[in-house]
Structure 1
C-alpha cells in the first residue's frame, strides 16, 4: 500500500505541475467561494487553516474574509517527531518560513488546544469521494486529528478527486471534500455531490 500511495503522490504532483497559474487561480477562486459559503464554516467560531504552498490552494487568501466574518483563525506549527501544534493568528501576526517552505505563526501567537478548534481545513494532495485523504506522507495531521473532535473539510481540485485513496489504519479522512464543482464525503448532501 505504501508503494501505491507513493505512485498516487507522483501522479498528483505531475498533474499539479501541469496546471497553469491562471488555472490554479481560477480553481482557487471556485474552491474558496464554496468553502466560505458552507453552513459549517459560517456557523463555527474557531477555524484551523493551513498555509498553502507551491501548487496547493493559496489558503492565506481566506484570512481576510474569515477575519471580516469575526472568525478566530488558527494556523499550524510543525514540531519535532512529526507532531504539530496550533496557534491563533491575528491580521497583524508575524508568519515565519518553515524549512519545508510553508509559513507558520511565530511563538508569540497564542497556543490553541484541539478541543478549542471547531473546524479544520485539512490539506492533502488528493482525496476520494468518501473523504479519504492522500497526504504528503509526514503524518502531522493524522496524529493531530486523533485528538480533534470537530468538523473536517478539505479543498480538492476536480482533477484530483479519485475513486479511492488507499487507507492504512492510522489514516484519518475528512467529513467533507469541496471541489470546484461539488461536495463529497460522509456529510455531503444528497448522493455524494451537490451542484453549484
Structure 2
C-alpha cells in the first residue's frame, strides 16, 4: 500500500480507539509503565515531546512525570519551510494552537534542539521502527540531524508492515507498545 492509504488507515484506527476510552486508557497505562522503566527514560536529563491530539496516546502524563523528575522538557514549535525547533517549557509556559491543531509554546526564546530523548509521534509504524507521520515532514527533517535517542509510543493498532519505507525515512531507536 502507498503511504497515503496507510496513513488514512492508521488515522481511522486511532479514531476508533479514541472512542473506546477505557481500552485506550488501559493501553496507555501499559505504555507509560514500560517507558518509565526503560533505560532511555531513566538516563535522559531532557525530553523532547509533543502535546498529543485526542486520538493519540495522551502525552500530558509523560510531560508531568518528566517535570516531577526534574528533567528538562521541550515541545516542538513549527516554523516556515517545515522547520521544527524544540522550546524548553516550564509550568508558567503559555501556549497557542498551531495551524496543525497542536499546542505549541507561545514564546520562542529558549531553543533546546538537542534533548537526550526524543519521543517521536506518528500514525503508523513498522515493527522495525520506521514510521508514517501526519504528512508534514517536520520530524523527518528534524531527525536527519538529531543525535539523541528516539522512542515512539505505539498502540498495537498502529503497527502495520504492509508499506515500503523510503530512502529518506529514518527509524526510531525503540518502539514501546501496549503489548
If the length of structure 2 is used for normalisation, what is the TM-score?
A: 0.92
How far did 1:27 drift? 1.8
Matched residues in 2 for 1:64 and 1:140: separation? 24
Matched residues in 2 for 1:76 and 1:44: separation? 18
Matched residues in 1 for 2:158 and 2:28: separation? 14
User: Larger relative contact order (C-alpha < 8 A, sep ≥ 6)?
Assistant: 2
User: Which residue is equivalent to 1:121?
Assistant: 119
Moved over 3 A (4+): none
Q: Does 2:68 align with 1:68?
A: yes
Matched residues in 2 for 1:108 and 1:140: separation? 17
How far did 1:22 drift? 2.2
5+ residue gaps, structure 1, are 182-196
User: Which residue is equivalent to 2:47?
Assistant: 47
If the length of structure 1 is used for normalisation, what is the TM-score?
A: 0.85
Q: 1:132, 1:164 within 8 Å by CA — same for their partners in 2?
A: no
5+ residue gaps, structure 2, are none
Say which SS state the counterpart of residue 86 (structure 1) adopts.
strand
Q: 2:34, 2:176 within 8 Å by CA — same for their partners in 1?
A: yes
User: Which residue is equivalent to 1:190?
Assistant: none
Post-superposition Cα deviations, 1:141-189, rounded to whole Å, max 9, x if no partner, equal: 01011111110000110122223542111112101000011xxxxxxxx
Q: 2:44, 2:117 within 8 Å by CA — same for their partners in 1?
A: yes
User: Which residue is equivalent to 1:98?
Assistant: 98
Matched residues in 1 for 2:10 and 2:62: separation? 24
How far did 1:113 drift? 3.1
Say which SS state the counterpart of residue 2 (structure 2) adopts.
helix
User: Which residue is equivalent to 1:141?
Assistant: 139
**Number of matched residues?**
177
Say which SS state the counterpart of residue 57 (structure 2) adopts.
coil
